[in-house]
Copies of this chain bind each other. A is one copy, B any other.
Amino acid sequence: MSERTTLHRKGDRAVTDPVERDAILDEGLLAHVGLVSEVGGAPHPVVIPMLYARQGERLLLHGSPASRLLRTAKGGIEVCVTVTLVDALVLARSALNHSMNYRSVVVFGTATEVTDHAEKAAALDLLTDFVIPGRVAALRPNADKEVRGTTVLSLPLEEWSVKVRGGPPVDEPEDLDEPAWAGLIPLGLAVGEPVPDERVPAGTGAPAHVVEWGRGSDS
């Protein structure tokens, strides 16, 4: 942990176990990627939602925003990647003790472009299968020109922090007789029935990797 990944405030639990880090990253779908941009003025923060995948001790980032990221710095760009899972609203007996149960990972570092063709092709497959496990096997391989026309960034999992808030509300002792109901409203990811594209032949069932798609313990 460096100075900037050390938690300075009391309360929520800081986690240093990479297993818990990876569990959060592997459950998440969307990262919020922050960078310092100089487009349109003085340096200012920009936060972009992006798809990602974890591959061992690095994150892979992908999506059209990656092009925007790389416009500013071909040789690598300093980013902060945050993945947050929301588990519950926490209702306490006073307003300011209300909270949220959540798990979040924050990663700092320099994201660099994956340029080796074979590595990039493999990274793109991993990105697809990270979001939808089993999907790559159902698809034609990416064409070389598709791989060439796509930007993938790699960010090492070296400087990171994990923060977790779990459990019931924590009230001040003098509030415990307040009449307000207290407890949790559990939240998670709802997954609906697959909706086939109109060109999928009638009567074609969705395959297992679609029907069984899920994320986290509620899925």
Contact = CB atoms under 8 A, between A and B. Distances in A.
Given A36-B36, A178-B139, A131 B98 contact: yes
B86 A135 contact: no
A139 B196 contact: no
Interface stretch (A16-24, A53-61, A76-84): A76-84
A194 B42 CA distance: 47
A198 B168 CA distance: 8
Interface residues of A, number: 94
Given A3-B39, A84-B49, A194 B184 contact: yes
A28 to B, nearest CB: 11
B182 A95 contact: no
A200 interface: yes
Given A84-B32, A91-B210, A169 B190 contact: no
B106 A47 contact: yes
A106 to B, nearest CB: 7
B192 A185 contact: yes
Nearest to A39: B4
Contacts of A9: 64, 67-68
A135 B188 CA distance: 21
A100 interface: yes
B190 A49 contact: no
Interface string A7-34: 0110110000000000000000110111
A191 B218 CA distance: 11
A30 B84 contact: yes
